Amino acid sequence: MNIQSGTFDATASADALDALRSGLRGDALLPGTDSYDTARAVWNAMIDRHPGLIVRPRGVADVIDAVNFARDHDLPVSIKGGGHNVAGHAVCDGGLMIDLGLMRTVRVDPQAQRAQVEGGATWGDVDRESQAFGLATPGGLISDTGVAGLTLAGGIGWLRSRWGLCVDNVISFDVVTAAGELVTASADRNPDLYWALRGGGGNFGVVVNFEFALHPLGPTVMFAAPIYPLNAGPGPIRFWRDFLADWGDRIGSLVEFSTVAESEDFPEAYWGQRCYTIAAVWAGDADEGERVMQPLREQGDLITDFSSQMAYCDVQRLFDTLMPAGDFRCYWKSHYLAGLPDEMIEAALTNAAATPSDNTLSSLWNMGAATMAVPAEATAIGDRSMGWMYSLDSVWPDPADDEANIAFTRKAWEETRNFSQEGRLYLNFAGHGEDGEALVKDAYGKNYAKLAAIKAKYDPENLFRFNQNIRPAN
């Protein structure tokens, strides 16, 4: 199948479409309706694609029918979980889009400390249901990001130091494969697929359910957020780096570079100036976290300090206002870093000063002890020995500025490549797909060949190819 092929012709396939609709509990949407335009919208305002048909399933049977319909009509499938993918992989031109937005049920078993999470749920859904029982699982930093897309590529959240990446907490996946079969993947059942789904993205089918392990946490946690002016220089960041050597099993943190908003939350003298926040969550007792993390707040003059004990659910929503869905254009890149040498800190400071857009963020992420403890062969993600990540999250409002912002991001990414190893990067922060198969191969390294073999077993025709695509092995 060619990646360009497969445009749905509603007139030629009218009878088949009627038959599909008569079985669905959910919807089948054609272009020209408001619901169609709402369903095809994704977080990145640069993405404006028009699927030939959008199915909004209300259950597994609807997903199976949609996949069978796509396969029988030679239509490629894109899958929308939360629609946050910056490359816009949730939505295709011409083909069939499965929008899981009506499948967001989360059911928690507090005794077993497990959550059953439908494929269209967001992290806000998971946190709300889990925290009702004083439980949590590592999730993303923004509440309306989809569980599915974030988890399937790894998933990096505040709790990673203590409990690992999101994938490290998945006990089983229920997947509708390209053959239209419902398959469970766990350590005991279809272990090859279980391995591949823990990092292999949306390549292997539609995940209709995730079973997550939950951990006791909260409801109150300690969140540290001292904000330093950019001209405070590298000192506080070096301190943070060295401090984490002792606390890398409890503190999930990043240094986030941004611009001070024109808001009464900040002293007016700093409005519009570049700054960085040492943002950190203590995965444990809040009082202990407040005491231990205090030195992060004492490394020089601050613009302000948002540190506080707060409800875990509020921590999980804190950054939402920085990144409203659909308002901004964006282009993100990343590198995993073997270490955080002073030269890399200097480069991050230089790039933060030079960004063309005040909405742009960039971050130095510490990956944490539990994330790094997982052996390379255990999950599709592969080698976890790189304990840091640099992400360039360029965000801007005006289409006229697309070229300048993308050029800036790529240049900064190229110039920091030498701090990475073997081109490894986080596939959820990987640009718009213009680096093609080479980038995907670099990201998976030695695991690519095994992933390609598993892809050939579960999706030999590459039906699911709107993703960081792994080509089926011949």
Ligand X SMILES: Cc1cc2nc3c(=O)[nH]c(=O)nc-3n(C[C@H](O)[C@H](O)[C@H](O)COP(=O)(O)OP(=O)(O)OC[C@H]3O[C@@H](n4cnc5c(N)ncnc54)[C@H](O)[C@@H]3O)c2cc1C
Q: Which residues bind ligand X (CB under 6 A)?
A: 42-43, 78-86, 89-90, 100, 119, 140-142, 145-146, 148-150, 152, 155-157, 201-202, 206-207, 323, 428, 466-467
CB 177 within 8 A of CB 459: yes
CB 111 within 8 A of CB 133: no
Nearest residue (CB) to ligand X, 202 versus 382:
202
- Between 43 and 247, name the residue whose CB sits nearer to ligand X: 43
Is 70 in a helix, a strand, or coil? Answer: helix
User: How many CB atoms sit inside 10 A of residue 323's CB?
Assistant: 19
Q: Write the secondary structure of 4-68 as one string of H (helix), E (strand) and C (coil).
A: CCCCCCCCCCHHHHHHHHHHCCCEEECCCCHHHHHHHCCCCCCCCCCCCEEEECCCHHHHHHHHH
At its nearest, how many Å lie between ligand X and the CB of residue 159?
A: 11
The nearer residue to ligand X, 240 or 466, going by C-beta atoms, is 466
> Residue 108 or residue 153: which is nearer to ligand X going by CB?
153
Q: How far is the CB of 62 from ligand X (least distance, A)?
A: 13
Q: Cβ(63)–Cβ(118) under 8 Å?
A: no
Question: How many angstroms separate the CA atoms of 386 and 344, rounded?
Answer: 14
Nearer to ligand X, 64 or 232 (CB): 64
CB closer to ligand X out of 104 and 274? 104
Rounded CA-CA distance 122/349 in Å is 33
Terminal C-alpha separation, the chain: 13
Six-digit token string for 354: 């030079």
Closer to ligand X by Cβ: residue 79 or 452? 79
Q: Which is nearer to ligand X, 150 or 225 (CB)?
A: 150
Q: Identify whether the C-beta of residue 95 lies closer than 8 Å to the C-beta of residue 51.
A: yes
Can you give 98-111 as a three-state secondary structure string? EEHHHCCCEEEECC
Which residue, 142 or 275, has its beta carbon nearer to ligand X? 142
> Least Å distance between CB 39 and ligand X?
11
Smallest separation, CB 346 to ligand X (Å): 25
The secondary structure of 280-343 as a DSSP string is EEESS-HHHHHHHHGGGG-SS--SEE--EEEEHHHHTTTTGGGS-TTT-EEEEEEEEES---HH
- In the complex, minimum distance from the CB of residue 148 to ligand X, in angstroms, rounded to a whole number: 3
Q: Residue 236 contacts by C-beta under 8 Å, 6 or more apart in sequence? A: 226, 228, 276, 278, 296, 299, 300
